Amino acid sequence: MIDLENVSKTYSTGVPALNDINLHIDEGEFVFIVGVSGSGKSTLIKLLLKELNPTSGKIVINGKNLAKIKKNKLPYLRRDIGVVFQDFRLFEDRNVYENVAFAQKAIEAPGKRIRSKVLAMLSMVGLLEKYKTNPKQLSGGEQQRVAIARALINQPAILLADEPTGNLDEANSWEIMKLLENANEQGTTVVVVTHNLEIVRAMRKRTISIENGRIVRDIEEGGNFYEI
Amino acid sequence: MKFKSLGYCFVQGLKNIGRNRIFSLASVVTMSLCIFVLGLFYSITTNVSFMVDQMSESLCVKVFFEKGIAEERIESIGNSINEYDGVTMVHFTSADEAWEQYKLEYFGEEYMDLADGYADDNPLKDAASYEVYFSNADMQDDLVKYISDIDGVRRVNSSEVTADSLSEISSLVSVVSIVVLVMLTAIALFLISNTISIGIAVRDEEIKIMRLLGAHNTFIRAPFVVEGIVIGMAGAVIPVIILYAVYGNVVNYILTKFSFLSNILSFMPVTELFKVFVPMALILSIGLGLLGSFLSLNRHLKEK
Ligand SMILES: Nc1ncnc2c1ncn2[C@@H]1O[C@H](COP(=O)(O)OP(=O)(O)O)[C@@H](O)[C@H]1O
Ligand SMILES: [Mg+2]
């Protein structure tokens, strides 16, 4: 599903953000990526989205070599990948329903089915009754749930989450992680970048540690992050 | 982009304009000015050339011959003149006809008798002439020179044709209008592309999300193209309506104020004028709108 071979990324400023990364993630996996700030986690996410191109190495997603994707085909790669961020990135000039429906409009999905899909998605994240609310009036946890609904409504094969609980308290963080796990159980491959080691330890998923742009540990599912 | 998305993009384009009212308005106003000047320029120049055209039916020089010239010679001069490019008609007036005309003009019907004293001795016996009509005021000088050089021609009288000065006014108007038009076009283009750039900046976050969600670039760009077209069209419709409403009044005003010119001044009817001007205005304004949006899109919304 996701394959990186000897991937390095050095920013034009000369900062080496990722250094010779080799990584394989199977379809249907749930993977945590941990590491201190500045270790290169977000850079990795951006490479997977082809927001950035690697300085060297090869990235293959869903059988597509990212280096070979033409500009006008890039949207199709992006449709395979849902993404959520620490800061939610919702539109505050639109209500919850419109925020989620936006994802369908952006890919020019058939209009007739948008409504039922959005409502189903909102009920899945537990926000059906707030569909008319403006994101500003929601708690952080609720906003992130809207963002997840927006990321999932186009039914991507992969869901990337870059510190999705970074702005949330413990209880809300758990709810978000449960939602991501839920999506994974439905078959979506999920990659979560996080600082929340407590949750990482508790969930016992595959956990990849990055330090200074290198993978330093890769603990298999069911392994104990705490012990190592 | 899918065809069915056109409606959505259109609505988004209108929303862009609504969100960015002040700049959109500035763009529309400048565009209107631009089209308005184009309209002035077009109506003045076409009217002048219309008048010149009408006048050219009376564009004419008179050719007199050397004393005692033979009739065959006169005829061959007439043929040479006829051969000249742009000469539309050559009319011969014999000495007798000239005298008759002169009498009529000078003495009038009532005093015609007074002229009888000259009865048998035509005082204008050398006044036979050709009236040479030609199509274009600009060719007068060359034509006069050509005729003067023909053997047997004594003199060529060219009237001080007003068509000439009208042509000059027309080309002056053209030059001034084109300069103003170019300046306004540049300003309009600048304003439109800036308006759209601002719209893009305002929606920056939205555009980023759209890209991440997998929206096609054409779908992302289309609303801004719509914005350019709508601003352009608004900038054409307003001055067209104003010019349409004002044209008749201005024509009437000129005709009453300068009634002594009313035999020279003949204006084109507004419908004739607008048959060409309206499409011209729409093409220019929509073209500028499109160009403005593409300039901005190429700066800020390249495919990434
Ligand atoms: N756009 C950029 N230009 C230059 N350097 C960058 C850029 N983005 C990130 N970096 C640098 O790359 C390194 C990794 O950053 P990042 O991937 O954001 O780390 P993380 O997400 O793990 O905190 C850091 O040293 C950071 O300063
Ligand atoms: Mg980061």
Residue B129, both tokens: 């002439």
Task: Assess whether pLDDT exceeds 60 at residue A121.
Answer: yes
Least confident of A122-131, A148-157, B103-112, B224-233: B103-112
* Mean pLDDT, chain B, whole residue set: 83
Confidence at residue B99, expressed as pLDDT on a 0 to 100 scale: 79
* Domain termination residue (choose one: B108, B131, B158): B158
Confidence at residue A104, expressed as pLDDT on a 0 to 100 scale: 94
The backbone region for B127, taken as left when phi is positive above 0, alpha when psi lies in -120 to 50, beta otherwise, is alpha
| Residues B183 and B115 occupy one common structural domain | no
| Residues B46 and B64 occupy one common structural domain | no
* Domain termination residue (choose one: B125, B140, B158): B158
Task: Assess whether pLDDT exceeds 80 at residue B136.
Answer: no
Q: Which residues of B touch A91 (CB under 8 A)?
A: 205-206, 209
Q: What is the average pLDDT across B20-39?
A: 85
The ipTM estimated for the assembled molecules is 0.91
Q: Which residues of A touch B217 (CB under 8 A)?
A: 71-72, 75
Q: Which residues of B touch A49 (CB under 8 A)?
A: 212
Share of chain B above pLDDT 70, in %: 87
Confidence at residue B295, expressed as pLDDT on a 0 to 100 scale: 93
User: In this structure, which ligand is nearest to the CA of A47?
Assistant: 1
Residue ranges of B 1-30 with Cβ closer than 8 A to chain A: 1-2, 4-5, 8
Task: Assess whether pLDDT exceeds 70 at residue B264.
Answer: no
* Domain termination residue (choose one: B97, B131, B158): B158
Residue B192: which pLDDT band, with cuts at 50, 70 and 90? confident
Cβ B213–A78 below 8 Å, yes or no? yes
**Interior CA angle at A15 toward A11 and A21, to 5°?**
80
- Buried-state track A176-213, b at ≥16 Cβ within 10 A, e below 16: bbebbeebbeeebbbbbbbbbeebbeebbbbbbbbeeb
User: What angle do the packed helices B217-257 and B204-213 form, to 10 degrees?
Assistant: 140
Confidence at residue A136, expressed as pLDDT on a 0 to 100 scale: 95
| Domain total of chain B | 2
- The third-level CATH classification (topology) of the domain covering A26-55+76-223 is Rossmann fold (3.40.50)
Q: What is the average pLDDT across A133-161?
A: 96
The backbone region for A207, taken as left when phi is positive above 0, alpha when psi lies in -120 to 50, beta otherwise, is beta
Nearest CA in chain A to B207: A106
Residue A227: which pLDDT band, with cuts at 50, 70 and 90? low
| Residues B294 and B169 occupy one common structural domain | yes
CATH code: domain of residue B96: 3.30.70.3040
Domain map (residue ranges) of chain A: 26-55+76-223
Which of B5, B206, B303 minimises the CB distance to A108?
B5
Confidence at residue B108, expressed as pLDDT on a 0 to 100 scale: 66
Share of chain B above pLDDT 90, in %: 17
Cβ A89–B303 below 8 Å, yes or no? no
Cβ B215–A111 below 8 Å, yes or no? no
| Residues B73 and B197 occupy one common structural domain | no
Nearest atom in ligand 1 to A163's CA:
21
User: What angle do the packed helices B21-56 and B270-300 form, to 10 degrees?
Assistant: 140
Q: What is the average pLDDT across A168-182?
A: 95
Confidence at residue B119, expressed as pLDDT on a 0 to 100 scale: 60
Residue A33: which pLDDT band, with cuts at 50, 70 and 90? very high
**Nearest residue by C-alpha to atom 2 in ligand 1:** A11
Residue A17: which pLDDT band, with cuts at 50, 70 and 90? very high
Which of B209, B214, B219 minimises the CB distance to A89?
B209
| Residues B110 and B142 occupy one common structural domain | yes
Rounded Cα–Cα distance for residues A115 and B230 (Å): 30
Nearest CA in chain B to A75: B214
- Contact yes or no for B57/B43 (Cβ under 8 A): no
Nearest CA in chain A to B220: A106
Residue A20: which pLDDT band, with cuts at 50, 70 and 90? very high
- Across A22-36, B181-195, B201-215, the highest mean pLDDT is recorded for A22-36
Task: Assess whether pLDDT exceeds 50 at residue A228.
Answer: no
- B67/A contact by beta carbon, under 8 A: no
Confidence at residue A161, expressed as pLDDT on a 0 to 100 scale: 97
Q: Dihedral of CA B211/B217/B219/B220: which sign?
A: positive
Residue B263: which pLDDT band, with cuts at 50, 70 and 90? low
Q: Ligand 1 pocket by C-beta < 6 Å: which residues? A: A 11, 13, 15, 17, 35, 37-43
- Contact yes or no for A188/A30 (Cβ under 8 A): no
Range of the domain at B116: 60-158
pLDDT tens-place string over residues B71-109? 888 888 888 888 888 888 888 888 888 777 777 767 666
